Structures are given as C-alpha cells and as structure tokens.
Chains A and B, each alone.
Chain A
C-alpha cells in the first residue's frame, strides 16, 4: 500500500513516527500551517514556524525517504489576535516557494468578523498565487460553519475543484459533495472520524474527490490511521485500486493542481544524504 498523507503536522511528531510511517508505506506528506496548542503572540513566531515546515521538516522527512510539502496560511483561531494578523503581509513571500502546494489551513474557528476577513483575504491570495486552498471546518457549530465556508468559497471565485474542505463527517459530507469541493476526512483515534465510519461514508459516496488524512499533531492522534483506513477498506470489500485511489492518486491529483508537487524521483532526495551518518542531525 502506498500512502500520501495530505494533512499531518509533523513538527509535533517524533523521528520514531517518521520511521513507523515509512515502514507503513507513507511516501509523501503535506504539512499544513496551523496552531501549535500554545497561542502565538507575534508574526515572528509564525515566520519561524513557516521556515521550519519548509526547511527543517522536509530535511527530517527526507532522511526516512518521505517527500514533504507544506501549505501556508494564518489559521482561523489566531486570525482573531490583532498581534498576529500582520503575518498576512508576509504570506506572499512563502506562497512563492517551490515546496508550498496550497494556501491553508484557512476557514473558520468561531466564525467571527476577523475570521471572515482573513478567510476571504487568503482565498484571494490562493487565486493570486495559482494555488489550491485547504479549508479547515470548525469543530464547534460544524454544520453551520461548513455551510458558511462553502458560501465564502463560492463568493471568492476560486474553482471549487481547487478547494478541499477538511475534517468532514457524516453530517457535513453531503454539503461538501454538492458544492463540488474535495472532501477531506481526518481519521482520529476517537473523535473526528474512525476507519470504520470512513468505510461507510466511502460506500455511500464513492472514492471520487475524497482525501483521507491522519491530521496527526500534538493531540491524541495517530499517523498510521491512514494505513488502518486502507486495511478497513480492503476488509469491507473495496479493491486495492480503490484504496490506492483514496490514499495516493487523489492527494496527488489534488495537490498537483499547484504545479509544484514534486514526487517524481524520491531516490534523488535520499541520495543527497547518503553516506552521512546524520540521522539525528549530528552524532
């Protein structure tokens, strides 16, 4: 099974996770910019974070043969802090990078006017930079938040085929499907979505325009739940090709719309570090 995890926060994970992921068949990941648990208080801590997910993390990932790309944005929660908002002016620098394959995570947390403004401004940046958009749906008041996100996406003029609406569930999937956006599902140990529930959704809606991710971060999460979902699909009678479609071909197709996804020759990346005993970044 080859796996592309289209949404995982590797900066919060250990090198042991990278090793386990590589062993499980994870060949590529996308790391969206998001919050870190502890709220930030200045644009500087955002840019250091962005530097990390376009610099240090790809280096770490490459040591395990995993291709790493990022998405860049001011997340909705911190868009509410006026001390953080100036980072919006620095985003164009990062959205020009080769390794940045979408604007994200944008969207809603509490659906405030500040979030409205940051969401619309960043959809405009996605259009300017010819990038797809990764839209986080809120964990509270989710159904209304999803509908409102779809309205904002439609208003922005971005092609819905270049947008993924993430963290969907049984209640919100139909609206996303109707809107023509990609449907993202985050498989979690006990909250957002589980492998078995995911199988049921796939049976009802099919594998088209579906992205399955672990969204593993600093909370209770598991980077191997993509693999577990593939296994649950096979057990439920899906073909290997269906599994490959949702765990590999779909994320490749979605992020290829950036024109920047580079999964062509992973051996080249591995060779860069061959011969160096630097698996710990020093000995």
Chain B
C-alpha cells in the first residue's frame, strides 16, 4: 500500500501544496477552503500507485489536520472529496474514528462511494456490517474485486446470504454476477 511518505515525496515539488500544508498545520480551519479546491490548486495529473495529484494532495492535507477536520471534510464533501477522504483513511492516524464515514458511504446509492468504503480501512468494520456491504455490492453491480481481503473475510454466513440472493434472482429469471457465483463456489468448498 502507498504510504504518506511516498505521496509526500511525489508531490515535494508542488510549492503551492507545500505552503498550504504549512498553513493548515498552523491554522487547522483553513483546510475547509483548501480541501475542496485541491484539483484547481494542485492539479489532477496521475501519479504512481493508482493515485492522482488531487487525491494525494487531499490525503496530505488531512494528514496534517486534526481528526474533527477530517470528519468535517467528509461531511461537507462532494463526491470526489468524499472518495478522497475514504481513500486516505487507512493512511491517517485517526484510529477507529473514521468508521462512521464508512457507514455513511455504505448507506448511499452511489456505487463509487460504496466501493470506496470497502478498501483497507474496512478492516475496522464489524463483520455484520461488512457482510451487508458485500451483498450490497452484488446487488448494485459493484465488482467484488474492489473489496479488500474479500476471500479472507468471506464466511459461511455471507455464503448463506449470497445463496438466498441467488435463489431470488433465479426465481425472477435474472442472472447473478459471475464474481458473486465464484465467491459462492469458494465458500462451498471451504
């Protein structure tokens, strides 16, 4: 997984960002105006490891912000900002305090937010909520490869839920996504 230090070194030449990180460290509330404007202020070019400049800059801004500002950045974020917060969560020293953000994202009807909630930080999500989230992915058509540690965490109870869902789909003459069928197979063998 990419670390904050790697992001920092990739963006070391971005002077505007370097200045802004200092500003936020001095005055945490300034992050409220800078975080939404990240794409316009620092750029949107792709970096290594599946990150873009604006996402990485947002992660770095959050890394110098207190936890309450991280929660506010998500609360008032548009979709791109919320996705950036969710992506940054596993890199931030905030313990479990970001779990309610995952729960919020999983309540939405936006496939991008639902899949972003199931990254590495979802290790902190309880097993019941995690199973429901995986089932919701199948229901919404979110590819299961987006789910972090899917095969480690999938258990017999998730298997039962998927089987019941497959029966409903079969009764309606509708297909199950192939990745969900593959997961069911794996759980049968276990």
Which residues of A are at the interface with B, using a C-beta cutoff of 8 A? 47, 51, 54-56, 58-59, 90, 92-94, 96-99, 259-260, 272-273, 275-278, 281-283
Contact = CB atoms under 8 A, between A and B. Distances in A.
Contact of B111 (A47, A99, A259, A273): A273
A236 B17 CA distance: 55
Classify the secondary structure of B's interface with A: helix
Please name the 7 residue pairs, one residue from A and one from B, whose CB atoms are nearest each other, closest first.
A281-B109, A96-B36, A276-B141, A54-B78, A277-B141, A93-B76, A97-B36
- By size class, the interface of chain B is 20 to 34
B79 A98 contact: no
Interface in B5-57: 32-33, 36-37, 39-40
B80 interface: yes
B163 interface: no
Contact of A96 (B37, B79, B80, B82): B37
Contacts of A260: 40
A276 B109 contact: no
28 contacts: A51-B76, A54-B78, A55-B78, A56-B108, A58-B79, A59-B109, A59-B110, A90-B76, A92-B32, A92-B33, A93-B32, A93-B33, A93-B76, A94-B76, A96-B33, A96-B36, A96-B37, A98-B36, A98-B40, A260-B40, A273-B111, A278-B111, A278-B140, A281-B109, A282-B139, A282-B140, A283-B139, A283-B141
Contact of A98 (B32, B78, B111, B140): B78
A272 B143 CA distance: 13
B154 interface: no
Nearest to A272: B112
Contacts of B111: 273, 276, 278
A55 B77 CA distance: 9
A98 B39 contact: yes
Nearest to A279: B141
A51 B110 CA distance: 13
B183 interface: no
- Residue among A47, A90, A93, A94 having the largest count of chain B Cβ atoms under 10 Å: A93
A97 B78 contact: yes
B142 interface: yes
B105 to A, nearest CB: 11
Interface in B98-144: 108-112, 139-142
B79 A59 contact: yes
Contacts of B36: 93, 96-98
A99 B78 contact: yes
B100 to A, nearest CB: 16
Contact of B109 (A56, A90, A94, A99): A56
A55 B109 contact: no
B162 to A, nearest CB: 15
